[in-house]
Every structure is written in structure tokens, then in C-alpha cells.
Amino acid sequence: FSSVRYEFAPEDSEDWSAVRPDKAGKYRVRTVTDKAFGVGYGKPLSFEIAPKPTEISIKQETVVYGDDPSNFHCELVNGDTLSVVGFRFESFATDVTNVSANAESVVITDKNGEDVTYCYSLSTPQKQVKLSPKKVSFAPRAAEYVYGGAPLPYESLLDEASQKQLASGDKITVTTQIFAQNGEAVELPEYAGDYTVRILDVKIMNGDTDVTALYDWESGLKSAKISVARRTVTVKTASDSKEYDATPLANKNFTAENLAEGHTFVVLESASRTVVGSSKNEITAYAIDDGSQSSIREVTENYDVKFETGTLEITHKQILVKTEGAEKSYDGKPLVNEHFSTSPSAVAGHT
């Protein structure tokens, strides 16, 4: 007696195996017979396992704008899993639209993680859904600057966290208003201090379609801070010295580093010294002029002025005093001569 079994191979392969195929594709089958004098093979026959027809049907009635449907059904077999699926929305012109699964994005895997998408013939019928507004919280971009003597280039943009809340493909234009610390609206920040920037309006586009109405944004607006720091300036005063002459020693020479373009450091009062000794050559009163007027227009409060002071020193005046000699015969009284001369002469008015 002989026993019969079956072997299978892909259509274009001679790789025969007793494992029965279960994936879609074209195959061949042959009989294998054990005989007394060897093994006999039957004539191969072709057959095909066709992809299983199935559809991805969307079950929900409402979808939040920017999200994909989360309630959908796809009939699979053998423990297969729908692991990746994208969706196509017909239009965003109104809050009612048709949506369907994007068949090109679908990935189906078996229990071993192998891609078996080709084993299914997918259909993706459209489903009419209502788009509910996407709730967002928008904040304008904060910024930090250093005073530069001119309006600063703030651009109306959302901060990074707000940008990430936009649906894929959406672009936003923001209208903002900047307010100084006193509450006054300004076009751009300029002077040192803190400003508040607030969103007045937004426009969100998806391609050529205005989708602003598909966002719930007005209740979630936040403000942001623009900070303009004082500009640091280093003022270095000169050092000077002289011999005592009873007149004041002063030196108003200085350098000012890092002033904004067109600005001038003006010395109003500075130190002097008359008596012997040394002291700092300090500037005790000053102003910074922005150069916009014929008279001084102060912008001093926008600067953080640091001083590197020189030294004023008055040294002792060197005088040589020569006394005159005298002689007499002893008379029991002191011999005194109070005549003397100085070289050079003492300071005028000093004796």
C-alpha cells in the first residue's frame, strides 16, 4: 500500500513544503506518494488564495477638528491587527464633511508582527461627520531685548507651544497689541522695561480654506511679556596729578563704551581736588543724550552705567628754605637772625 500527502510551493518557485499556505497569493500543489521503490510526485495544480474583501467603516458622528476618527471597524481574520490607518477629509469649508480611511496608509499585521495588508482587499466608504471646534490655548511669543535706542523688531507670532496645537497643515496669522507698563498701547517696544503683548485676532488657513471657525480659541488666550533690558555702558575717567598750588585739580576726560548709535554721554558734574592727597575722579552727575534735539533729550534711565574711575592726586610742593648766618661778641643775650629765603617761592598768598 502507498500513502499520499500534499506539498505546496509559490507559483514561481520550486521551494516545495508540506506547510499549507494561508496568505493571499498564487500557489501550486502536488501529491507526494511513498512507494516501495521510491517517492512519486503528482502533476502540480495551480490555485490562488484571493485577498479577503473587507471595509474600514467609521462609526462616530462627530470628530474634533484636527483629530482622526477613533471609532471605526474593520473585519479581520486569524488575529490580524489594523496597526496603522490614516484618514481623508473631503473638505474643511464647513463644519460638516465626509471622511474616509486612506487605504494607502493602512498597515495590517498578523500576530507575529508580519505585514499582511496584501491579504485584504480594502474598501473605505465615506462617512458624513460633524466637525466640532478644536479647543486651544494661544499665547503670543515672548521676547527679550537690550535697549538699542530705536524701536525693536518684534514680530507677531505664536509661541512654540501654541504652534504645536494647530492641526496638521494649518497656518496661523496673529494680530497683537503691545502695551507699555503704564497701559499705553505702543507700536513696538523701544525703551527699557517690561511690556505686555496680547492677541487681538487670529486667522487660520488650511491651504486656501479659512478654518478659523473650527477652533475654539477666544476663551483660551494668554498674554506674554516683552522685556527690554537696560543697556550696559562702561565709563572710564582719566587719572591726573600735579604739585600743590592751591588751585583745584580736575580732569573731565573720559571714554564711554557701548552707547547706542548716535547717543552721547554728557558730564554735568565731576570731582576735583585742591589739597594734598588722592581721591577718585568721580563723575557725580551726568546725562545720556539721544541726539534727537538741539538740547539734551535724556534717555539715561535706559542705561546701566558702570564706572571705572581714575585718580586725582596732589603732591606736596617742594620748597628749599635758606636761613642767614649772624655773629656778635658775647653779651649774655641770645643771638638770633630771622632772615631767610625760599626757593622756589611759596604759593601766591602763602607765607
Q: Residue 25 is placed in which grid cell?
A: 497569493
Enumerate the β-bridge partners of residue 140.
158
Q: 257-315 pLDDT, tens per residue?
A: 999 999 999 999 999 999 999 999 999 999 999 988 888 899 999 999 999 999 999 99
pLDDT at 1: 47
User: Number of helices and strands (H, E) in the chain?
Assistant: 1, 29
Integer Cα distance of 305 and 170 in angstroms: 47
Burial of 66 (0-12, 13-18, 19+ CB in 10 A): buried
Quote the percentage of the chain above a pLDDT of 90: 82
Q: Residue 15 is placed in which grid cell?
A: 521551494
pLDDT at 35: 78
pLDDT at 2: 57
CB 100 within 8 A of CB 87: yes
Region for 183 from its dihedrals, namely left if φ exceeds 0, alpha if ψ lies in -120 to 50, beta otherwise: left
- Stated as kind and residue range, the H or E segment containing 160 is helix 160-163
Average pLDDT for consecutive 10-residue bins of the chain (351 residues)?
84 94 96 84 95 96 95 94 89 96 93 95 96 96 96 93 94 95 95 96 96 94 96 98 94 96 95 96 96 89 97 92 88 88 77 71
Integer Cα distance of 190 and 302 in angstroms: 10
Residue 144, number of CB atoms within 10 A of its CB: 9
Residue in 313, 326, 155 with CA at minimum distance from that of residue 224: 155
* Amino acid type, 264: T
Output the pTM of the full model. Answer: 0.72
User: Strand, coil or helix: what is 190?
Assistant: coil
Please list, in sequence order, all residues whose beta carbon lies within 8 angstroms of the beta carbon of residue 113, skipping any fewer than 6 positions away.
Answer: none
pLDDT at 339: 87
User: Strand, coil or helix: what is 48?
Assistant: strand
Q: How many CA atoms within 13 Å lie on the side-chain side of 201? A: 2
pLDDT at 204: 97
Q: How many CA atoms within 13 Å lie on the side-chain side of 260? A: 24
